[in-house]
Structure 1
């Protein structure tokens, strides 16, 4: 069973979604919300290029069955957000992740009210890249609103929230996320010169990046402290000039150090095939879309977020509380990604100040074996109770499900079942 179309959170906000029931047991299998990043990139990219039931071919002409779809064991919802991403449309001109996730939450309330048979299911949020900005505050908003809804004894709280659906949030999963630039930007020189494959920059270029980092860190710290758009945009511009531009000038893909950047600035030729497919008149009719010029990524949305300084703002700050409140956190990363590389991502995981931080940092990195292939597919570190898990996926770039479909399906299925990795 699938459901697709629009839900309108207001007369000017029209959110497009595509929902697929689990191929297994939809009445009992978990419910997964998938968000792509950008900002401004459509989650239809995740659906038709990475982990959905049908994948678009490289010519953008047809789709084929995906046996490694994440809906093999889960109900999955792909949402185009913020407004003007993908097929979503309206007058909203969101320019920050905080406002964006408030609108996502309004959509979720509407979805689970209209399709209330899915509301009792365990709920998980997953996404990649810039979704590292969306997912932690969205999870925090959900837990806060759940408390208000559940507080029947406090009439004041009941009046404080118009929402009525409790979302049974169990975990979040972020792939190659941009979460904490202060920590992550320090790793760029190491990824450029000492990655698992081959150096991309010269040692001299990497030393220059190391020398530039202290000033970059000062700018990011000021952004974190002030949360002012001017300071945050300045940090974005100057840090990216120092850390990203030298790599981009080589012609290599910032999303995969093994490959040349082909197919425009997004460096994925396949994304343009998806774009062409979703512009076909028959596909537009079948999807009930009101948009005829689909874009995989909307540059206008991206620009609004960048000039507002959203790229550098500290949306990761709520993760320690989520962990201590019992929300499980999976951080997974392809080992060939540069822009959100595993080195800085893991450094951030180790820096998270929560009650089991020392245990996580003392834990060993051990081989992770894929159940479907029997091969060592990555490296995993986690707390004994699995509350925080970091998984480095071998031979994968920025989009792990795209490069490692079987292994990523194994990962997400084990994760939602609470059995990913080792247990002592």
Structure 2
């Protein structure tokens, strides 16, 4: 592909996790110094050429998407102790192909030159998807759905922005080539982006920081903090908001890092001192810094020499989250930047957008996610806000509440924390299958 020089595809077909489906793992080299590791699973059901393709991204920033694979929505889950895996009947490759991607560089098994902003990372993922569709022509007809959680609220809009802008350039180049009678077959291809999904994510910090106190003290679950502590959080919000608006205006480290530090210390920090799980207000933090013991098992499994040989990895030690990448993004103030602003152009282009949130999460809670969804400036804003909430039922049970207008949907998931497919696997599978089929909730 002339448009991406020095690219290379190095692939294995591992016999791990779910040997009943076709798998590919390996490296997509988008340049001489960027090597992205992926693990792909074909759909369990449906024709290969008809199945949609989901790209899954975990957050951090700096955390491997194999958390999603081995803990949440992959075809298997890691076994207790980390020496094997177990079949996951609720995997998202039920009716879709799924790529789990370690990005940006130096996350998980990926390596290369550093990338410390979401927009730069988004351009890299666009290049990677170009190579994937080029290298696996059997999936050329697969519609693309980009999904992520947590810091995916930055990653996913950034990836979609890069794809949209690349597709626009492809259209322009094709028109110019046709007029000149030139062959442009070696240039970039149009990526078939159909939808994005953002789960329990940080997207619009200005709005979302306002709702941390409500989740800590006045949610549908038992309070975690005292009224005095939550009042202190509310008292800090006006300054947090003022600093965040400055970040939104200038979008540089000088404006955004102070906002991140103030809002994080004065608002989030109050909860972090409690010892409770920031990803689930129903639980204490246990096991490790990320509060889930299963993640220790994921680390153990992916560091087994026989697993690494089968996967063909070139990074000897797997670490679930990179401190270096997290620090790099933090020093750029990337966390506080306004990635909700990338959503309206997608909606205008007909891209479907799903925002979903487990309602027991604190750190990217459903109150804040619903609020930014309703405050989003787009032509359908008033109709979306007037649409009201409807019950989402799975079988005979109530699984959550949904609000939708046009190609924009917000879904509250009952009884789930930060990682919806981990806490509510059956309901999460119902969610993704309905979404892929473009069916109503």
Choose from 287, 294, 298 the match for 1:274.
298
CA 1:159 to 1:229, structure 2 compared with 1: closer, same or farther past 3 Å? farther
* Aligned 8 A contact 2:26 2:311 in 1: yes
Matching residue of 1:374? 396
Q: CA deviation at 1:401?
A: 0.5
1:127 and 2:148 correspond: yes
Matching residue of 1:207? 231
1:314 and 2:335 correspond: no
* Aligned 8 A contact 1:148 1:161 in 2: no
Q: CA deviation at 1:159?
A: 11
Choose from 432, 435, 438 the match for 1:412.
432
Choose from 35, 43, 49 the match for 2:57.
35
Distance 1:308 1:336 in 2: 30
Matching residue of 1:296? 320
CA 1:185 to 1:163, structure 2 compared with 1: closer, same or farther past 3 Å? farther
Q: How does 1:112-123 map to 2 (within 5 A)?
A: 112-123=133-144
1:70 and 2:92 correspond: yes
Q: How does 1:216-365 map to 2 (within 5 A)?
A: 216-365=240-389
Deviations 1:105-124 (CA, angstroms, capped at 9, x unpaired): 11111111111221221111
Distance 1:109 1:140 in 2: 15
Distance 2:280 2:183 in 1: 49
- SS state of the match for residue 101, structure 1? helix
Q: CA deviation at 1:265?
A: 1.8
Deviations 1:234-288 (CA, angstroms, capped at 9, x unpaired): 1111100011111011100110000001122211111111011100001101110
Deviations 1:42-94 (CA, angstroms, capped at 9, x unpaired): 0111111100111102321210111110001101111000011111112x111
- SS state of the match for residue 126, structure 1? strand
- SS state of the match for residue 282, structure 2? strand
Choose from 106, 109, 112 the match for 2:127.
106
Matching residue of 1:87? 109
- SS state of the match for residue 18, structure 1? strand
Q: CA RMSD in A?
A: 1.7
Q: How does 1:167-186 map to 2 (within 5 A)?
A: 167-186=191-210
Choose from 81, 89, 93 the match for 1:59.
81
Distance 2:39 2:175 in 1: 37
CA 1:284 to 1:254, structure 2 compared with 1: closer, same or farther past 3 Å? same
- Greater Cα offset, 147-156 or 210-219: 147-156
- Greater Cα offset, 161-170 or 101-110: 161-170
Distance 2:440 2:417 in 1: 21
Distance 1:278 1:375 in 2: 36
Matching residue of 2:19? none
Distance 2:414 2:81 in 1: 27
- SS state of the match for residue 337, structure 1? coil
Distance 1:214 1:6 in 2: 46
Number of residue pairs matched by the alignment: 416
Distance 1:163 1:127 in 2: 28
Return 5+ residue gaps in structure 2 as ranges: 1-21
* Aligned 8 A contact 1:109 1:163 in 2: no
Q: List structure 1 segments (4+ residues) > 6 angstroms apart after TM superposition.
A: 156-162
Distance 2:244 2:227 in 1: 25
Distance 1:163 1:313 in 2: 32
TM-score scaled by structure 2? 0.92
Matching residue of 1:45? 67
Matching residue of 1:97? 118
CA 1:363 to 1:102, structure 2 compared with 1: closer, same or farther past 3 Å? same
Q: CA deviation at 1:164?
A: 2.2
Choose from 404, 411, 414 the match for 1:391.
411
Q: CA deviation at 1:294?
A: 0.2
Q: CA deviation at 1:162?
A: 7.6
Q: CA deviation at 1:314?
A: 1.3
TM-score scaled by structure 1? 0.95
1:19 and 2:40 correspond: yes
CA 1:318 to 1:159, structure 2 compared with 1: closer, same or farther past 3 Å? farther
- Greater Cα offset, 144-153 or 271-280: 144-153
CA 1:257 to 1:406, structure 2 compared with 1: closer, same or farther past 3 Å? same
Return 5+ residue gaps in structure 1 as ranges: none
